[in-house]
Amino acid sequence: MIIRWVILVFLCLAVLVLSVDMYKEAIIYSPLESVEISGREAANNGKKALQVFEAAWGREIVDNNLFSSTRSPVQPKPQQPQGKAAEPPKRPDMNLKGIILDQFGEYVAYIEKDKAKAVAARKGDRLDDVDVLDVQQKSVELRWNEENILLSLERIKTIKNRGK
């Protein structure tokens, strides 16, 4: 039992010492007292000079205060009109690779755009900036920039067997 009382007294003394140290170092600490002022003490005949502090910012920061109510957004510089008009967009290179009839009875077109991998497209789909208006058995109608494009499989010819 005596050991418990000794430990309790030791902990109370440790808390008391730490509290006094914290009070000295944190609560009553004044950082301005430790600043050394050189040259001013000699001017005052050895008396401790008054500590004079100046603002750490200049007139520019005061004039451009972020929190000022008079501050307004920066006005963008007017852009010079360029003499050259913007070129119209280039029509994409579209190739119809094939058309199949899917399990729901709809035609699905496989369209290759700008030499990329062929993509499956149904009626109403959109491929980037190209709308698929209609898919039929041998043709696909597309719309690009108010221009209708018709892709057809009719130009593909197959070699027929020659009976010799």
In the numeric block, the tokens 């058995």 are attached to: 137
Of 161, 131, 126, whose CA–CA distance to 146 is shortest? 131
Mean pLDDT check: name the lowest of 11-20, 33-42, 110-119: 33-42
pLDDT digits (tens, 9 = 90+) for 90-130: 888 888 999 999 898 899 999 998 888 999 999 999 988 89
User: Which residues are within 8 A (CB) of 113 and not within 5 positions of it... i.e. 6 or more apart?
Assistant: 92, 93, 94, 119, 127, 128, 130
More confident residue, 150 or 75: 150
Indicate the SS3 state at residue 10. Answer: helix
Predicted confidence at residue 110, as pLDDT, reads 93
Which amino acid, 133? L
More confident residue, 69 or 136: 136
Of 111, 93, 106, 91, whose CA–CA distance to 153 is shortest? 111
Indicate the SS3 state at residue 89. Answer: coil
Residues 135-150, mean pLDDT to the nearest whole number = 91
CATH number of 94-152: 2.30.30.830
Query: What is this structure's pTM?
Result: 0.44
Mean pLDDT check: name the lowest of 12-26, 80-94, 134-148: 80-94
**Where do you find CATH 2.30.30.830 in the chain?**
94-152
Q: How confident is the model at residue 75 (pLDDT cuts 50, 70, 90)?
A: confident
Predicted confidence at residue 112, as pLDDT, reads 92
Average pLDDT score, the chain: 80
Say whether pLDDT at 61 is over 80: no
Percentage above 90 pLDDT, the chain: 32
